[in-house]
Amino acid sequence: MAAFRDVMTVTFLVVGLGFMLVGVCGIVRLPDAYQRLHASSKCTTLGLLGLLVGAAVHIGTPESIVKAALTIVFAFVATPVGSHALAKSAHAAGMPQWDGTLSDELAEDQGGIGL
C-alpha cells in the first residue's frame, strides 16, 4: 500500500509541475499581457491542484487533506476572479492587445470603444 501511495504522490506532483512548466513557458512566449495572464492563471490553478493533492496523498492525515481541499477551493475561486479583475483594469487603462487578436468583446459590450 505504501508503494501505491508513493506512486500516486509522484504522479500528482509531476502533473502539477508539468502544468506549472507549461504555464511558465506560456508567460515567457505569449505576445501580450492578456494572454500571459491567461497562462499564469491556468498554471496556478491546475499546477497547484496537482501539487496539493500530491502533498495530501503523501502526508495522508485528515488535517492535511482538509487543508489541501480548502486551499484548492480558495484557489479555484480567487485565481479566476483576480485574473479577470487584472485583465479588465488593464483593458480600462488602455493596455494594447496583440495585433493578431481577432476580437475585443469587452469593447463591443461597452458600445464599440475599441483599442
pLDDT tens digits, one per residue of 36-84: 999 999 898 999 999 999 999 999 999 999 999 999 999 999 999 999 9
Sequence-distant (6+) residues with CB within 8 A of 17 are: 47, 50, 51
Q: What is the pTM of this model?
A: 0.81
* Domain coverage including residue 81: 2-91
- Residue 78 placed within a domain: yes
Domain contains 108: no
Domains in the chain: how many in total? Answer: 1
What is the predicted pLDDT for the residue at 104? 73
Does 70 fall in a domain?
Answer: yes
Quick check: is 96 in a domain? no
Question: Is 9 contained in some domain?
Answer: yes
In a domain, 63, yes or no: yes
